[in-house]
Amino acid sequence: MAPDYSDPDWLRDRMTDVLSFYYPGCMDDENGGYIAQLDEETGRVYDGQSKHLVATARFVVNFCLGDRYDGADWCRPAAEHGVSFLREHHRDSGTGGHDWLLKGTETIDDTRVCYGHAFALLAYARAYEAGISDDAPLEEAYDVLLERFWEPEHDLCKSEFSGDFSESEDYRGQNANMHTCEAMLAAYEATGEQRYLDRAREIAHALTVRLAEETDGLLWEHYTEDWEHDFAYNRDEPRHQFRPWGYQPGHHIEWAKLLAVLDRYTDTEWALDRAVELFDDAVDHGWDDEYGGFYYTFDREGEPIVEDKYGWPVAEGIGAAAALAERTGDDRYLDWYERLWDYAEANLTAPGGNWYEKLSRTNEPYETSDGPAVEPGYHPIGACFEGLRSLTE
């Protein structure tokens, strides 16, 4: 018999399972910060030096949420540990920007990536909300995003700069802006300051309404410098880690969650309407009816391109279903909430309680890949978080 996935005790316990897989092995007591490179099956550390900005920020968020929901007593000091590393090592005091990749405490890539700065803002928001840091890091991270990345004529952000912010690339991306919206919503939740909610609403409307009108409501990933759809970008790299070609059902359902959250704080009718539509798009085009799970990408005709199943779209689907159930009162979202948790528990849960990052189409786990990790349990913890606040609070 399946557990009651809306039971707050079960959700808190499931969150703790994921945190306990990483802790204490993730704590780098020599250099500071975290070690994210743990084998998904065994928990063995295969790289104790690489420190990715996204992984550092996500660990902070994870431990803040563990502390928020009365997790183990090590959650709070673990979050404080990460905030200090973000400020002292990822952050460049000269520009206020955050370095993309470190080895130990040495910067090996100082590219200023909007995607990474969005997660830094998210981490500072959750830390401020938890009373772990004051509002200065949060406000500075917001100022950097607005002063360096924000394009007010488009209500969207640029994607990347060189380390000194002197040069930016021409590429513009959906993904970085989606996570900036996510971070702005968290900053609003932490502070109640309207400016954060305004930026979240502007980004959401620009991408999910204005630009999506050109693609029948679907969300393309890649754009030119003038925010025109770039349907040729990475056409020959369908498995690119951050910028694959094609539509991503995971991002459609992640936007459904963010728009439902936005609807909590505004009376903007389009947000909930688009959340419903994007949820339907994700399950209509992306759900594998035979084996379950979401295809990674589908093409402009709606056919799967990469059939691998990643864990993060399922986690985002759980969050979206919970938030939409709360906002609409429609029981079909509770059905999807249970269906997605059933799939996750049967296929994505590894022996240690964490989630596998990626499965084959038939749900066979891939071996843990080498290289800097960016997914330290952030998405399954986020699924528990949204279930808790949407269905039980």
Contacts of 93 (CB under 8 A, 6+ apart): none
Residue 89 Rama label (left phi>0; alpha psi -120 to 50; beta) = alpha
Tell me the pLDDT tens digit for each residue of 39-48: 999 999 999 9
Residue 241 has pLDDT above 90, yes or no: no
Task: Please state the rounded mean pLDDT for residues 130-137.
Answer: 97
Q: Are 316 and 324 in contact (CB under 8 A)?
A: no
Coil/strand/helix, residue 242: coil
Residue 234 Rama label (left phi>0; alpha psi -120 to 50; beta) = left
Question: CA nearest 294: which of 241, 252, 238?
Answer: 252
pTM, two decimals, is 0.98
Instruction: Encode 64-123 in three state secondary structure.
Output: HHHHHCCCCCCHHHHHHHHHHHHHHHHECCCCCCECCEEECCEEEECCEEHHHHHHHHHH
Task: Please state the rounded mean pLDDT for residues 290-319.
Answer: 97
Residue 342 has pLDDT above 90, yes or no: yes
Question: CA nearest 111: which of 120, 101, 121?
Answer: 101
* One-letter amino acid of 20: S
Residue 75 has pLDDT above 80, yes or no: yes
- Residue 136 and residue 133: Cα distance in Å, rounded? 8
Task: Please state the rounded mean pLDDT for residues 115-127.
Answer: 98
In this prediction, residue 393 has a pLDDT band, given cuts at 50, 70 and 90, of: confident
Contacts of 364 (CB under 8 A, 6+ apart): none
Backbone angles phi, psi at 115, to 5 degrees: -55, -45
CA-CA distances (angstroms) from residue 122 to 15, 71, 279? 19, 20, 24
Contacts of 124 (CB under 8 A, 6+ apart): 83, 86, 133, 137, 138, 141
Residue 90 has pLDDT above 90, yes or no: yes
From 52, 89, 154, 251, active-site residue: 251
Q: What structural domains and CATH numbers belong to the chain?
A: 8-391 (1.50.10.10)
Task: Please state the rounded mean pLDDT for residues 264-285.
Answer: 97
Residue 215 has a pLDDT of: 98
Structural element, H or E, at residue 223: strand 222-223
State how beta strands 45-47 and 50-52 pair: unpaired
User: Which pair of structure tokens corresponds to residue 168?
Assistant: 């930016």
In this prediction, residue 174 has a pLDDT band, given cuts at 50, 70 and 90, of: very high
Task: Please state the rounded mean pLDDT for residues 232-245.
Answer: 92
Residue 352 has pLDDT above 90, yes or no: yes
Residue 99 has a pLDDT of: 98
Q: Are 272 and 260 in contact (CB under 8 A)?
A: yes
Task: Please state the rounded mean pLDDT for residues 238-246.
Answer: 91
Active site (annotated) includes residue 379: yes
Question: CA nearest 249: which of 183, 317, 346?
Answer: 317
Contacts of 350 (CB under 8 A, 6+ apart): 21, 40, 41, 356, 365
User: Which pair of structure tokens corresponds to residue 22?
Assistant: 């990483």
User: Which pair of structure tokens corresponds to residue 190?
Assistant: 């932490």
Q: Are 97 and 148 in contact (CB under 8 A)?
A: yes
Active site (annotated) includes residue 229: no
In this prediction, residue 204 has a pLDDT band, given cuts at 50, 70 and 90, of: very high
Rounded percentage of the chain residues whose pLDDT exceeds 70: 100
Question: CA nearest 177: which of 220, 126, 127?
Answer: 220
- Residue 57 and residue 71: Cα distance in Å, rounded? 19
CA-CA distances (angstroms) from residue 7 to 72, 320, 328, 350? 19, 17, 20, 22
- Residue 356 and residue 120: Cα distance in Å, rounded? 24
In this prediction, residue 218 has a pLDDT band, given cuts at 50, 70 and 90, of: very high
Residue 1 has pLDDT above 80, yes or no: no
Round the average pLDDT of the chain to a whole number and report it.
97
- Residue 22 and residue 376: Cα distance in Å, rounded? 8
* One-letter amino acid of 49: Q
Residue 242 has a pLDDT of: 84
In this prediction, residue 148 has a pLDDT band, given cuts at 50, 70 and 90, of: very high
In this prediction, residue 304 has a pLDDT band, given cuts at 50, 70 and 90, of: very high
